[in-house]
A and B are shown apart, each in its own frame.
Chain A
């Protein structure tokens, strides 16, 4: 059961082959069996079975949607009413949200079953899941390696079949990079396509929630539920949501693919490059035209990102002050002590590093040199994407420079860790949508192909990914021990 796609499971639920309760129980059993992966922070067993029962009711009444009764899981960045929402931090270890994030509400309305809350880098700051207060998540393809981050729990859980699908969030690559390292399909939608309400903010102008699934088709089903304008999020865009399933099989004849030379230069592992070549060749066979393009400002993405994201996070995380909720230090002597110790003890190292960087970048006398300059760079990068996407339909390239790295390998060197997002960060700065699609293996470790499209062209991206998945089976591989 656990190897089936959403569409197949939906059929099985309707034909009576299995019930949602049975399906849910089998996933709960698997989660227990594979708890050493540490992909879940909270497993909501009772709630899941209740929801499954309700879903079975809806299915019996014929009032079900595609996601009704499907066991999935939420990244622990999305607020869930009555269920602990930690954001991977000691700061929120005791936080139970009194409301549901819009994305959670939408999955609830669709009748999806929530198995639990998934592990992640603390406040989504990290590329390896090693910054989580709840411990590192292991990559099911090689448990000595990281699953990527920050949506590492989501990627590992989907790859290990501990959830049919999962939500993720992506600020600089946090959906795509772990999707690539865990061999699953992940989509970061256009900024504004999915509501951020109830999604704990890291860098508000970059954060975007999206689907993490086995296939492009499953991602399309999830996005159908997630996408749309939300009056509670002013930055969500009021634009109709297309039928993502309708165009999945569209022909790719004449598709123009751009390959930025900046993506294929120094720093890209040659084995990974070979896999990407092969994937792009598949697209040629499907009728696509491929041309080299140039996006000269891409090299500025990492420095710009590490000014803008920390600047926003330095303000976004100010609310965690030990006053109203979350971690509060023992016996504060006075107000300053309450603040400094609650925050000093409640936040981990990487979070504190980014708050400090951001605070510095916004300080009087530095604002123009850092924040304003970074915003100018951001505009240049957006222009690069606009120009490129007026020339070609989609841009393709690597998601990560290499495959999953070892646990502990990069955590001591922040710069090296930051460079693992070199191919994904620019996309967030521009706000365009992008996907990571499984494209092969190097030494039994998955490699992802990144497909980047124009604003609100998620339907096109899903179509392009789906057609590739019709002629390849990389996305159907299962890590050993999790079959």
Chain B
């Protein structure tokens, strides 16, 4: 039945800008401090205080605008959005309404190998509200204003997405982009990147949009997909059973995996937007835009293409390596430092290193093994000082401590033995001690060859050059 329905999705994403201080005050934006210790007079909305715009927030918004090839408004205006809530100290939120800083732009996504361009209507600057805390106050509500005044960039998409999958792809792409640009840490648990989804359905082929519901404040990729899929089914079921969708705001309950009504359009606030007389309009000239453009980092898509071309890497490795700017930079630093084959560097970065980081819950920037030390290890594999297997052992050691690969190899005596005489003696001894297996091998049981390699390596504590061992074993067993 649902084949005849088409879903229409638009997303509003709030990205918390990675400024040191708040958008209109000098208080710190750091997360996790004791309640109300990072709220100054301006954040508290004391009588007489005035907002002063943080230029860094403007710069970051322009960086974003440039990255999505958007129109940057030469003149944009802050407006007051009026509503009462205990964690909104002034009784209005400073936002942008008619003249946002970033105008129409776009982002390319890919779902199941099919590329699609998603339109971005606008992106505007605004301040975050505080938090209401309902626990531990014996029936009362506590207010924490540390978050009040944190700069947000609200990024509004066109209703261009047609499935939850596309919505997730768009959200992921945007998440990757803002982190690439260094304008948002993307931490979804801490609420640095959160999403409202506008969802509606319409019969396939119909031009007009259906009535939409807005699902508020979803802060994970998993939940956005589930919430949208639930909402699509709910709306289709409702229409097919003769009902109509009402325009409303809904909340997603991740425990029950359902959305439920929060407030209807009738109950919605009239926000009475008007230009904030405390703030001057923001003027952005061509020189400023040119400067930002010059400083713009290589964007994810371009980097991915370059990695394929320059390093001859496959799709999977490039996707992983370019998933963050820091990881890509690390990889390139390893290649440069070690002068090893890019593929081997990629294997180590996406393999052992990434696994170790995941296990420890670390980001690449917090890696105990920096690019010089990893490069030092790869050099020793390349020049046959150690085998790949020993290298894993050395890497373990490096992860735990601060020693270089060379220091570990030296201290532990892990240097690969390439002395053919020493290897030959061992091989001779193994062959003499295992005549049964020699017979089996010679009668055609190739599998037994592995047994001999294992025995030799065991005897030599893994330090023998495996190529050399293979070659000599084959000769002796003929």
Q: Which residues of A does B touch, CB under 8 Å?
A: 78-79, 85, 87, 92, 95, 97-99, 101, 196-201, 203-205, 231-235, 311-312, 314-315, 317-321, 323-325, 335, 339, 359, 362-364, 367, 371
Contact = CB atoms under 8 A, between A and B. Distances in A.
A314 B82 CA distance: 9
27 contacts: A85-B48, A92-B47, A95-B47, A97-B48, A197-B48, A199-B48, A204-B277, A234-B52, A234-B280, A235-B277, A235-B279, A312-B274, A314-B272, A315-B90, A315-B91, A318-B82, A318-B84, A318-B90, A319-B46, A319-B89, A319-B90, A323-B143, A324-B89, A324-B143, A325-B47, A359-B272, A363-B272
Q: Of residues B45, B49, B50, B280, which shows the largest number of chain A Cβ atoms within 10 Å of its Cβ?
A: B50
Given A85-B47, A203-B277, 4 more contacts: A98-B46, A235-B278, A318-B92, A362-B82
A231 B82 CA distance: 26
Interface string B304-335: 00000000000000000000000000000000
B41 interface: yes
A79 B47 contact: yes
Interface of B: 41, 44-53, 80, 82, 84, 86, 89-92, 143, 270, 272-274, 277-280
Contacts of B273: 362
Contact of B47 (A232, A319, A323, A367): A319
Nearest to B83: A318
A415 B245 CA distance: 49
B46 A97 contact: yes
Please provide the 3 A-B residue pairs with the shortest distance between their CB atoms, ordered closest to farther: A318-B91, A205-B277, A362-B272
Contacts of A321: 84, 86, 91
Given A98-B41, A234-B280, A315 B50 contact: no
Contact of B277 (A312, A335, A364): A312
A204 B274 contact: no
Looking at chain A's contact residues, is the secondary structure mostly helix, strand, loop, or mixed?
Answer: loop
A323 B88 CA distance: 10
A343 to B, nearest CB: 9
A315 B270 CA distance: 13
B48 A311 contact: no
A200 B48 contact: yes
A203 B48 CA distance: 12
A196 B52 CA distance: 12
Contacts of A362: 82, 272-274
Contacts of A200: 47-48
B52 A198 contact: no
B195 to A, nearest CB: 26
A323 B274 contact: no
Nearest to A311: B274
B48 A323 contact: no
Contacts of A92: 47
Nearest to A312: B277
B84 A197 contact: no
Contacts of A320: 47
A200 B82 CA distance: 19
Contacts of B45: 319, 324
A232 B92 contact: no
Contacts of B280: 234-235
Contact of B41 (A87, A99, A235): A99
A235 B51 CA distance: 10
A199 B280 CA distance: 18
Contact of B86 (A87, A323, A364, A371): A323
Contacts of A79: 46-48
Contacts of A339: 84
B249 to A, nearest CB: 17
Of B84, B273, B280, the most chain A CB neighbours within 10 A belong to: B84
B91 A196 contact: no
B84 A315 contact: no
Contacts of B277: 203-205, 235, 312
Contacts of B47: 79, 85, 87, 92, 95, 97, 200-201, 319-320, 325
A25 B97 CA distance: 55
A68 to B, nearest CB: 26
A315 B274 contact: yes
B44 A324 contact: yes
A298 to B, nearest CB: 22
B80 A363 contact: no
A325 B48 CA distance: 13
Choose among B47, B52, B273 the residue with the greatest number of A CB atoms under 10 Å from its CB.
Answer: B47
Contacts of A364: 270, 272
Contacts of B143: 323-324
Contacts of B50: 196-197, 232-235
A440 to B, nearest CB: 37
A371 B79 CA distance: 14
Contacts of A359: 272
A323 B80 CA distance: 20
Nearest to B51: A234
Contacts of B51: 234
